[in-house]
Structure 1
Amino acid sequence: MGRGIRKVNPFRVAQKAFRPSRPDLIVDARVRKLQVLRAWAGIVVTVAVAAVYRVTAPKELASERFGDAWINVLILTCVLPLVVGGFVVAARPPNRGAFARRLRYPLIAVGAMFGSMFTFVLAAVPDLEGVRDAAGPVVMVPVGVVLFLWMLPFTLYGIVLSLTNVFRTADIHELVPPLVSVAASWVMAVVNVFDDSFKGVPNLLAFALILGAPVTVSALAYYEVRRLRLLHSITLRNTLLR
């Protein structure tokens, strides 16, 4: 009974869906800690800036930060196929085929994320209000409990894991996450230039915040790639068989 409950624990299921699990995956504990630190540091800084420079109610502030995190996920999913596709195409056989077969792992993570978000859309979209009313409290109350107690923690934890693990792209190859994260962070910086993410924040601070994320991610990616080269003799050239 206890083991069965652990198997359906939303945090445990999220880990299975969003964490890389390739048996021969090289895991660098130092890089891993830096990745987690970078993800949480970004969240803390953006929340602190929004709280100080914007007159925002706590509920609205939480909604805005969730929206920012979701935009990051959307941008990541847009950049991911471009970078991963280029990586696979650039590789020579037999590595090209091996990398292509591993694409199913990021697809599982992306599908799980958008599937979980879609359930909230179905629960809130106005066009389905009649269907929800017809179902009545006998159906909607249990559904609401499941959404709040299981799907919500699964989705929130999934967003953090998706941003930290770059949608399990390490299951394709260890070099893919740094490549995707660098591309996505710079795209996000360009998006922030043209939207109101830092409205009310002094220009100099806003500029530092916009560049802070991509510069930090790029530095971490360089450190990660360098350790792969020095400790494991993995380079982009020998990975692509070029």
Structure 2
Amino acid sequence: MAERVEDTLISRMQLARTILGIVAAVWLIVAYPLSGGGQDFLVGKLVELGFSCGILAVGSIIGITAFLVASTPDRRRDFAERLRGPIMAAVLLVAGPAAMWVAWQTLRGDLVESGDLKGFFSAITGPGFISSALSILALIVGWLAALALLLASIPYTLLLCYYCVFTCFQASEVHQLLPALLSPLLVWSLFAFQLFNGPDVAAPPEVLYTFMLGGPLSVTALSVWEVRRLRIRHGITLRQALGH
């Protein structure tokens, strides 16, 4: 029985739902004024993306752990060997904020001070003009490198956040059913978050709540359909996945 299958219809349906969601979101923003300023909207979307990553990180840990605990010993070993993808996705995601922190601390001069550099070069070349010039040069190069790292790590982190959300932290590498089981958790958590945080646009309630409910309902329906298609067409079930 196939352990992992490539179903083009499932992939196309997922892509179509993503495109429709983006188109609907853009239409809503264009058609109605923002509730707050553009800066508040941008910050809100960044917070929402971070919240999505947090929810999926916790959900992926719980889901993968549940698979490991509920499966038979042989299946547990198989699942454990597939953890490299989710772990690598988490490590690459954490690397972005870590790089931003290092770059920011370097730009502020909190990691390395000019006096430390001068003392370092003085121990090599002796005190004088050469050690001073080398310390200044090192400061300039380090500042430029930190600035480049900061500018590169911002889009890197945003792209990795979106990738981790879209792939559910590569949970499909553990088992193909996991993304379908985790996606509803994400969208309904985001729905609750948006209810608590308030709407982004000043749209009529019937339009606003139709849009807000459209995402969770469509993702949940797509997940149910995907699980059913994997079971009927490919014989992939949760019971079979766990080895029972």
* TM-score under structure 2 length normalisation: 0.75
Question: 1:93 & 1:160 partners in 2: Cα distance?
Answer: 34
AA at the equivalent of 1:104: R
1:33 aligns with 2:12: yes
Question: 2:148 & 2:107 partners in 1: Cα distance?
Answer: 19
Which residue pairs with 2:47 in the alignment?
Answer: 67
Question: 1:219 & 1:166 partners in 2: Cα distance?
Answer: 17
Q: Which runs of 5+ in 2 are unaligned?
A: 115-138
Residues 194 and 162 (structure 1), Cα distance of their counterparts in 2 relative to 1, 3 Å cut: same
Q: Deviations 1:14-46 (Å, cap 9, x if unpaired)?
A: xxxxxxxxxx64222222233234334434433
Question: 2:155 & 2:9 partners in 1: Cα distance?
Answer: 27
Q: Do the aligned partners of 1:175 and 1:225 also contact (CA within 8 Å) in 2?
A: yes
SS of residue in 2 equivalent to 1:45: helix
SS of residue in 2 equivalent to 1:53: coil
Question: 1:140 & 1:26 partners in 2: Cα distance?
Answer: 49
Residues 128 and 198 (structure 1), Cα distance of their counterparts in 2 relative to 1, 3 Å cut: same
The structural deviation recorded for 1:157 is 2.7
The structural deviation recorded for 1:180 is 1.1
Question: 2:148 & 2:230 partners in 1: Cα distance?
Answer: 45
Q: Which of 74, 77, 81 does residue 94 from structure 1 map onto?
A: 74
Residues 50 and 68 (structure 1), Cα distance of their counterparts in 2 relative to 1, 3 Å cut: farther
1:113 aligns with 2:116: no
Residues 226 and 25 (structure 1), Cα distance of their counterparts in 2 relative to 1, 3 Å cut: same
SS of residue in 2 equivalent to 1:131: coil
The structural deviation recorded for 1:60 is 4.9
Which residue pairs with 1:129 in the alignment?
Answer: 108
Question: 1:103 & 1:180 partners in 2: Cα distance?
Answer: 16
Larger radius of gyration: 2
Q: Which runs of 5+ in 1 are unaligned?
A: 1-23
Residues 92 and 197 (structure 1), Cα distance of their counterparts in 2 relative to 1, 3 Å cut: farther
Question: 1:40 & 1:67 partners in 2: Cα distance?
Answer: 22
Residues 60 and 119 (structure 1), Cα distance of their counterparts in 2 relative to 1, 3 Å cut: farther
Which residue pairs with 1:202 in the alignment?
Answer: 204
Which residue pairs with 1:142 in the alignment?
Answer: 145
Q: Which of 201, 214, 225 does residue 223 from structure 1 map onto?
A: 225
The structural deviation recorded for 1:171 is 0.5
Question: 1:61 & 1:47 partners in 2: Cα distance?
Answer: 13
The structural deviation recorded for 1:182 is 1.6
Question: 2:192 & 2:179 partners in 1: Cα distance?
Answer: 20
Q: Deviations 1:204-225 (Å, cap 9, x if unpaired)?
A: 2332233222211111212222
Identical aligned residues as a percent: 26
Q: Do the aligned partners of 1:181 and 1:217 also contact (CA within 8 Å) in 2?
A: yes
Which residue pairs with 1:81 in the alignment?
Answer: 61
AA at the equivalent of 2:141: V
Q: Which of 197, 216, 228 does residue 214 from structure 1 map onto?
A: 216
Question: 2:204 & 2:225 partners in 1: Cα distance?
Answer: 31
Between Structure 1 and Structure 2, how many residues are aligned? Answer: 217
The structural deviation recorded for 1:124 is 4.5
